[in-house]
Amino acid sequence: MIAGRARREGGQAAVLLLGVLALAVVFVALAVDGARLLTVRRDLHAVADSAALAGASAIDEHAYRETVGHDIRLDAQLARDAAERVLAASGLPEGTTVQVDVDETGVDVRITRDVPTVLLRTAGLTSERIGAHARAEPRRL
């Protein structure tokens, strides 16, 4: 009678072990794909920051000189060109969406892209959309 009971408990332990292993696989998948998504997001933020700062450095020199440095505003076309040069040189992958908005006071850069997952694919999550936004404005030093 004791031997039969031990066999039944051994079966329960196997089921419990399989559940724990499945949970461990889920946590590993979250760790691997989560780290990858955070890395991509950090990289997108770095590119957005660089592009916005480059754009914000393109001030309207004519207005600046006429007002003896009191009026600091952007040259919209030069700012857009500067931001787009940084974005072009950054090597963003195909399928990345980029939006550059320029007004007299600053430059907004928004970047989004789909990042394929590696291990979460088995749970049906094939990709995640990651985005970054940066704004830079010219200012007096």
136: tokens are 């830079």
Q: What is the pTM of this model?
A: 0.78
Structural domain includes residue 20? yes
Sign of the four-CA dihedral 114, 119, 120, 124: positive
| Distance from C-alpha of 76 to C-alpha of 102, rounded to nearest angstrom | 6
Residue 69 vs residues 57, 59, 136: alpha-carbon distances, Å: 14, 11, 19
Domain with 23, as residue range(s), is: 2-136
Mean pLDDT by 10 residues, the chain (141 residues): 56 84 85 91 97 93 83 90 96 95 93 91 87 91 65
* 112, 131 Cβ separation under 8 angstroms: yes
Count of residues making up the chain:
141
Residue 127 vs residues 33, 35, 100, 115: alpha-carbon distances, Å: 10, 14, 25, 5
Q: What is the pLDDT of residue 2?
A: 57
Structural domain includes residue 108? yes
Q: What is the pLDDT of residue 123?
A: 78
Q: Could you tell me which residues come within 8 angstroms of residue 61 by beta carbon, excluding any fewer than 6 positions away?
A: 75
Q: Domain total for the chain?
A: 1
Structural domain includes residue 7? yes
Structural domain includes residue 141? no
Q: What is the pLDDT of residue 120?
A: 81
* 55, 74 Cβ separation under 8 angstroms: yes
Structural domain includes residue 71? yes
Amino acid present at 83:
A
Q: What is the pLDDT of residue 139?
A: 81
137: tokens are 């404005």
